[in-house]
Structure 1
Amino acid sequence: MSSLVPSFTYEGAKVTVGETVQSSSVNTNDFTSPLTYTVEAENKSTKKYVVKFTDNGISALYINTTGNAQVTSKDIYVSGTLKTVSNFKDITYEGKTEVKGRGNSTWSMPKKPYRIKLDKKASLLGMPESKNWVLLANYADKTLIRNELAFILSRNMNRSFTVKSRYVEFYLNGQYLGSYQLTEQVKEGKGLVDIEEQAKGTIALPDLSGGYLIEQDLFATGEPVYFKTAKNMPFVIKYPDEDEINQQQKDYIKSHFQKLEDALYASNFTDPVNGYRKYFDVNSYVDYYIINEVIGNPDAFRSTYMFKKRNDDKIYVGPVWDFDKAANNDNRLGDQVNGLMYNSAFEPKIWFKRLMEDPAFRQRIKSRWNELKPAILALPNAIDPLEKKLAVSQVRNFTRWDILKKQSYLELVVNGSYQGEITYLRRFLTNHINWLDAKFNSSEYQ
């Protein structure tokens, strides 16, 4: 709050703070204490306005770039400083950082998401130490909570790694950009995707066997290090890092994924020993699938994280990520209250369709659903606490981004208010979960 650049309109000759003439979106001021703005009319009469900030329970995150440089690229980092402030005035972190854009369709939106790389590992707002962080804008999600609901469900299912996050009020070079979600980056490491790190230059087994972090990604060809299988399934190699991975590592993981695909499409693919189970961890994929069906995620199959451990032939699926267009929030799918993402979500999903041809896989979905049913049925109850947490923050966000009464992206329904969006989400989850319960307990999943 010590260096903000306010935007305002007024009628009169000039606006001053003390003796300094103010211009909207130009002057920087300190708002840690109440600040008096004076508006002077043409006839020299004046009126004073006191601006006072109050704590809304959400921490603030400030990034100031070197020379106020604009952040316009997803490829080039801009240097600067980062500060987090809690309880309105307590600085909880301050240090050097780099920032760049991120996302596919989300980067084209007015409220943009960002990648953050600190100069050294640090804990931000109570989350585990890391250099790498993500700022989710949630522009397409007018509830601002769809991603967090998916993370909550994943944690309640005791998944091995679920992204941790905090809501923040984000300021870039003094400009308020809205209510954002600061999250851990999906990355290898202790407390993250816990796979073995490979020494630089690894070219031989057993070290060559892992770990690897992979993303099944529809947009893989736009990434630095990617491969495709014989059936044209696209994958990005996220770890080892693009500037360290060698050809032997690329060849190994591509070959291993091809072995998985070959086993999946073999005549004996359902064999519990020599079929796809030799290369696929079924339990992790079933959990991943259930989360994406519950939230109704259209991107469930075109953006999927996977990983491989050292000396373990199996590919594990997760963590979950990217739910801003979920829960009946994408008009390209139509109403999905009584629908399966297995049928309606975006391609590529040929691997999953093949898995669903195995009766044992369908049976595992049913049994796991019933094991998890208490946690799933309770998910709508998580909405109220999140709504209360964001009660003030969402008002500021939608003052900055006046989109509640208009279509901002591809929403199926424009509800006209934040409360309307919350009600719409709650109704979808409640009705969709009930429909899924009947579906997964039907004869199709025997």
Structure 2
Amino acid sequence: MKRQNRTLSFRSIGYFLLLSLVISVGCKKTTTDDPLPETTTFAVETGDSEIPYLTIDTRGIQIENEPKISAELKIFIRKNEVQRTPIGIEYRGSTSFRLSDKKSFGLETWNAAGEDTDVAFFDFPAEEDWILNGHIVSLGDRRIQDRTLMYHYLGYQLFRNMGRYASRCRFVELEINGVYEGVYVFMEKLKRDGDRIAVKSLGPADNDPSSITGGYILKIDKTSGGDLGLQKPLEYYADNWADDATYREEFSFRSRYDITGQPLSFEPYGPPYHANQYLETYFLYEYPDAEDVSAEQKAYIQDYIHQFETALLEDDFSTELRTYTDYIDLSSFVDYFLINELCRNVDAYRLSTYMHKDRGEKLKMGPVWDLNIGYDTGDRIPWDDWVINYNQYVSSDAWMMPFWWTRLLEDPVFRQAVKERWAELRGGVLSTTALLDLVDQTASYLVSNGGIARNYTRWDIGGQINYDGAIRSLKNFLELRSQWMDGEINAF
């Protein structure tokens, strides 16, 4: 009973702190000198909701996958307009775009001339690139992925609580051209920035021995229309599965080892979904991007990754000598492993996987990204096994688990680092109480402000959504998963 009362107290305090943060956010007027009207009429009645309400007006122009079209964004809190700015907007996502009726969007903040300009939203540092992320809803299949609406938000918040950068997020409600679209997560796009992925700027001419060492951002992921330079009609993207697996030398490079750590003997850049693609791991140039990265920089970062992989494979873990740690920041690999395993992120390590290397520094993993098929619904992996064992459960995926992680977990040095860090986190920000309180606070905020009811009225799949049941399932999973990890890691 004492623990229950203490938990309720934490939840109450956290909930009111969360509400205070939303209410007190200073939304700065940025790109217009016109006076802001005090109130407006929305497509749905929001009452006294504290959830920020966003309206986007495209002036009758259809949103495309590419390029972005011009629109106007307005932000309201308690029905009071607090900010407006010109934006460019486009659909985002590959698989999610094809599968979901509730689309996600990429935004750029523009000035009156249509040029990119940095804008601050809420309490986030000013930037020009933003995301409106919606959970996956398939009306035809009557299927919803992440009924809690909080998978992304929760994982990013936990990673920040661990002392790592993750995309800053805010729940919002969205209306586009007078149509209510539901609850979304407004978030930062991952990119090089002093307030985001803070690696040094690297220009095409920075090829001297010192400068060429960083900064870089790499990604293990599917390819997309943006990578391929596509300018297709919107209907093309409903069935463009081959674009997900079309790797090219100009924007990617392949590991020289297969997913088991054996040297690859066939040529890279084969056709999408060829018979041996499951053996390959490709790295995409995220920063500098494919248009800006020099040939010298490509050669440098490719060789750096190869040296790391070779050292990891060749180090004798029965001795005290390690050479692979000359190339990686071990603590970042530990934290990346722990957050993705706790959230049972089945896309982790093999998709939506970011890493970065600053000038003169080692390779770091992260930030964490894309958690929408994890937690209690990440059913490709049992709740009581490691996500890094993905290859034991799935054999036909074009994107399999790279050898890095199973090899790392063979190393007593890595295992000890995991054990020490897990004990530290479980005594604080990843304690069972902290995990369950964060879920409760977030759910209370969404429910009490009417966001859940409005969202599921908009996205009705023909049956009552048991939101309380979804929250109980998520909390039960986090409690069981963290306790299972306690047993496994304490035995290291």
Same fold (TM over 0.5): yes
1:299 & 1:55 partners in 2: Cα distance? Answer: 38
Matched residues in 2 for 1:270 and 1:357: separation?
A: 10
RMSD between aligned residues: 2.4
Matched letter for residue 359 of structure 2? R
Please name the residue that 1:86 is paired with.
77
Structure 2 SS opposite 1:328: helix
Identity %: 30
Within the candidate set 319, 339, 345, 1:297 is matched to: 345
Q: Distance in 2 between matches of 1:137 and 1:418?
A: 17
1:63 equivalent to 2:56? Answer yes
Partners of 1:239 and 1:204 in 2: how far apart? 18
More helix by share: 2
* CA distance, structure 2, for counterparts of residue 117 and residue 52 of structure 1: 28
- 5+ residue gaps in structure 1? 1-29, 36-50, 407-415
Report the counterpart of residue 380 of structure 2 in structure 1. 332
3-state SS of paired residue (2:331)? helix
Per-residue deviation at 1:274? Answer: 5.3
CA contact (8 A) 2:212 2:297 kept: yes
Unaligned runs of 5+ in 2: 1-37, 111-116, 137-144, 224-243, 258-279, 395-399
Match of 1:54 in 2: 47
Hey, what's the Cα distance between the residues in 2 that align with 1:350 and 1:104?
A: 26
Aligned counterpart for 1:354 among listed residues 369, 385, 407? 407
Residue 189, structure 1, aligned to residue 183, structure 2 = no
When normalised by structure 2's length, the TM-score is: 0.73
Q: Residue 430 of structure 2 aligns to which amino acid in structure 1?
A: I
Cα distance in 1 for partners of 2:367, 2:320 equals 25
- CA distance in structure 2 between the aligned counterparts of 1:97 and 1:287, rounded to whole angstroms: 35
Structure 1 residue 357: Cα displacement? 1.6
CA distances 1:150-194 after superposition (whole Å, capped 9, x unpaired): 1221122111x1211101111122211110000011111111111
Task: Report the counterpart of residue 125 of structure 1 in structure 2.
Answer: 122
In the superposition, the TM-score normalised over structure 1's length comes to 0.80
- Report the count of equivalent residues: 383
Structural mapping, 1:199-238, within 5 Å: 199-219=203-223, 221-222=245-246, 225-231=251-257, 232-238=280-286
CA 431–272 in structure 1, closer or farther in 2 if over 3 Å, else same: same
Displacement of 1:299: 0.9
Letter in structure 2 aligned against 1:226: S
Q: What is aligned with 1:39?
A: none
The Cα of 1:300 is off from its aligned counterpart by 1.3
Residue aligning to 2:266 = none
Whether the aligned pair in 2 keeps the contact of 1:212 and 1:240 (CA below 8 Å) is yes
2:68 paired with 1:77: yes
Using CA pairs below 8 Å that are at least 6 residues apart, which structure has the higher relative contact order? 2
Shift of 1:361: 1.0
Residue 22 of structure 2 aligns with which residue?
A: none
Q: Deviations over 1:175-220 (max 9, x none)?
A: 1111000001111111111100013432322111110011122547
Larger Rg: 1
Partner of 1:388: 444
In structure 2, the CA distance between the partners of 1:77 and 1:267, relative to structure 1 (3 Å rule), is: same
CA 1:221–1:248: 2 relative to 1, 3 Å: farther
Structural mapping, 1:7-406, within 5 Å: 32=40, 53-65=46-58, 67-73=59-65, 75-91=66-82, 93-108=83-98, 109-119=100-110, 120-139=117-136, 140-159=145-164, 161-219=165-223, 221-222=245-246, 225-231=251-257, 232-268=280-316, 275-303=323-351, 304-312=353-361, 314-333=362-381, 336-344=382-390, 347-374=400-427, 375-377=429-431, 378-391=434-447, 392-403=450-461, 405=463
Q: Which has the higher strand share?
A: 1
